[in-house]
Copies of this chain bind each other. A is one copy, B any other.
Amino acid sequence: MNEKITSRSEDFAKWYTDVVKAAHLADYSSVKGCVILEPNGYAIWEKMQSVLDDMFKKTGHKNVSMPVFIPESLLRKEGELINGFAPEVAWITEGGNNKLEERLAFRPTSETLFSDYYAQKVKTYRDLPLLYNQWCNVVRWEKETRPFLRGREFLWQEGHTVHATQEEAERETNKMLETYKEFFEKYLAIPPLTGRKTEKEKFAGAEYTLTIEALTQNGVCLQSGTSHYFGQKFSKAYDIKFINKNNEYEYCYQTSWGVSTRMIGALIMAHSDDRGLVLPPKIAPTQVIIVPIKSEEKIFSIAEHIKTSLEEKGVSVSIDYSDKSPGYKFAEAEVNGIPIRIEIGLRDIVNNEVTLVRRDTLEKQVIKLNDVVNVTTQTLDKIQENLFNKAEENVKNRTYDAKNLKDVEEIMNNNPGFVNAYWCGSEDCELKMKEIKGTKSRCILESKDYEEEKCVVCGKKAKHKVVWGIQY
């Protein structure tokens, strides 16, 4: 608790890493570019996994585990993918004291392995679709890293599906984006932006990429999940054929989709404050912490009683029995982002009361013992709602329409956010935008031959309505 947290207004980037450390979410390791997920951080990831895994299974997906290694020749079969990932691959070249005959890539993503497997498994349309997912670690050799946001190793899930028709595969691509959106809104209390990536920003090897983008409190954009439609690109490269209903050979249609521990970064940047972490109740590993003000048996027994009653309602509760001072315990509960703190002192007991403190607003409320369960569960719902509303308000305040480059510059330099602007579709214009503090297209909202609208950069006829923003 000695760790001081820099304020957001002073230095947002420093504030972020201070919160990560002070809330014991992650720590730096002796391995360059890799962090240690500490218990508080890993518990959030477990909660995310558990909710998403249920959602995936309810939509018919099954978990598997593919090897972590990809032989170089297998990785190179699909040209665009390897071109996109080659600069970021880590290579295993020695095993058991011997130089390997062929280099093995540490998976940066597993389209190649799934495709190789599907090529063996899929024979006829009766075998389709195969809807598989895996939870695993991947490695991308990044130069600059930051906890949760960018690391050489990170944890994620990658869904890989194979279908008999284009229509079904495209429906899957959309469905998984919608699944992520629902998760962000309902659990993370983050209202995300969703849409299609431009050609330049799409996944290497995809026909197109759908994205889910979160906005931080200071208006920076975080790509937080993607869902790709591959068409037949991989099935042609890896020879995944099936006999269709007309008894003809046809190449399959594929998708992949993923979210990672980066979501923890998005979560922190969306809700936390200068006192530390703020967690939406639905994703908080511990939703309520009870702090006995004195080490008295009477207080402990009431604390245990409240804990049991809340647990019966599905609330996760812990009691701080440590011998630290009450002030220290309060500060610790705050820094760790526990949504509700219940304080019980000796006087409270006499009055049949406890004090309930909301982490999001820091409001204190004295309530009768009999009301604890009701008020607590209602307050958890209110906190969840309030955090979503605040995040939505931030998005609303930071969503702009820009008519020209000067508009974009002014917005990005002062109060950045999601900037709607028309675009002609040329990469040159995209690169021009990037000169403004690294502004990139976040996603395409609509594409057509516009009559009136002009590209915000070159002034030529617009083809796309695009949301732009400063890339994290």
Contacts and interface: CB of A to CB of B under 8 A. Distances in A.
Interface string A59-102: 00011111111110010000000000011111111111100000
A46 interface: yes
A34 B67 contact: yes
B68 A39 contact: no
A216 B193 CA distance: 55
A233 to B, nearest CB: 19
B70 A31 contact: yes
Contacts of A94: 90-91, 93, 103
Contact of A67 (B36, B43, B65, B87): B36
A208 interface: no
Interface stretch (A134-142, A300-308, A339-347, A407-415): A134-142
A58 to B, nearest CB: 14
Chain A, interface size: which category? 35 or more
B91 A63 contact: no
Contact of A29 (B43, B86, B116, B136): B116
Given A39-B64, A104-B31, A97 B92 contact: no
A125 interface: no
Contacts of A65: 36-37, 42, 45, 155
B63 A42 contact: yes
A43 B57 CA distance: 12
A429 to B, nearest CB: 29
In order of increasing CB-CB distance, the 6 nearest A-B pairs are A96-B141, A34-B67, A37-B65, A39-B62, A95-B141, A91-B94
